Amino acid sequence: MLNLTSNILDKILSAEALLIGCSAGGFNLVYELVSALPAEFPLPVVVIIHRSRRYKSSIEELLDTKSQACVKLAEDKEVLKKGIVYFAPPDYHLLLEPEGCFSLDSSEPVLFSRPSIDVTFKSVSDVYKQNVIAMLFSGANEDGAEGLCYIRDRGGLIVIQDPKSAEVRRMPEAALNKCRGGLVLDNVAIHAFFTSITSCYK
């Protein structure tokens, strides 16, 4: 069990969405976390992984069979619901509209990435303000660092994978260089953080 401050616990209890961004080397950790989620997980989870539509991927289908939570691709105009894990579709930026539903966008890649972690992080923060938890894991470019800063500056809670635990260090290292003031957790502590989220609502 993590020893979380009262301020962090308050942020967890007020959160309206949990965001996870990663790229190269991040899938295994995402797989472990999502497959272990309980059906009653108290937040909607939005996962942004860099991938191209040119490569067939069944991440969502695989995890939906492993997790007690519902796991699916995010759909245009779909309203976020707690206990569901939404993956950004390949080759689309995933945005959140003010009324709390997704919007798919095919504008230019950001940092060579579509979906872009920064784009989703900023969009969700614009809607939910300080009531966002954002986590950034392993990856081979610097996408996500600006989005984390954006969320932190609006009072949200940010979590960065300890680069020593990451399969590819560039993404979390860039986040640490650009964005201070968040939790830096190794893989074991990240698992414990997820357990803490569930425990906060019991």
In tens digits, the chain (202 residues) has pLDDT values of 688 999 999 999 999 999 999 999 999 999 999 999 999 899 999 999 998 666 556 788 889 999 999 999 999 999 999 999 999 999 999 999 999 999 999 999 988 899 999 999 999 999 999 999 999 999 999 999 999 999 999 999 999 999 999 999 999 999 999 998 899 999 999 999 999 999 988 7
The three-class DSSP label of residue 106 is coil
End-to-end CA distance of the chain: 15
C-alpha separations of 70 from 6, 47, 97, 119, 175 in Å? 30, 13, 22, 24, 29
The three-class DSSP label of residue 126 is helix
Q: Which pTM value belongs to this model?
A: 0.96
Kindly list the catalytic residues.
23, 50, 143
Q: What is the helix, strand, coil percentage profile of the chain, to 5?
A: 35, 20, 40
Q: Which residue has the tokens 């991927």?
A: 57
Helix pair angle (187-200, 27-35), 10° resolution? 30
Contact 45, 37 (CB under 8 A): yes
Q: Is 159 exposed, middle or buried (0-12, 13-18, 19+ CB in 10 A)?
A: buried
Q: Which of 16, 47, 25 is nearest to 164 (CA)?
A: 25
Burial of 88-112, coded b for 16+ CB within 10 Å and e otherwise, reads: bbbebbbbbeeebbbebbeeeebbe
- Count CB-CB contacts under 10 A for residue 50: 25
CATH tag, 6-200: 3.40.50.180
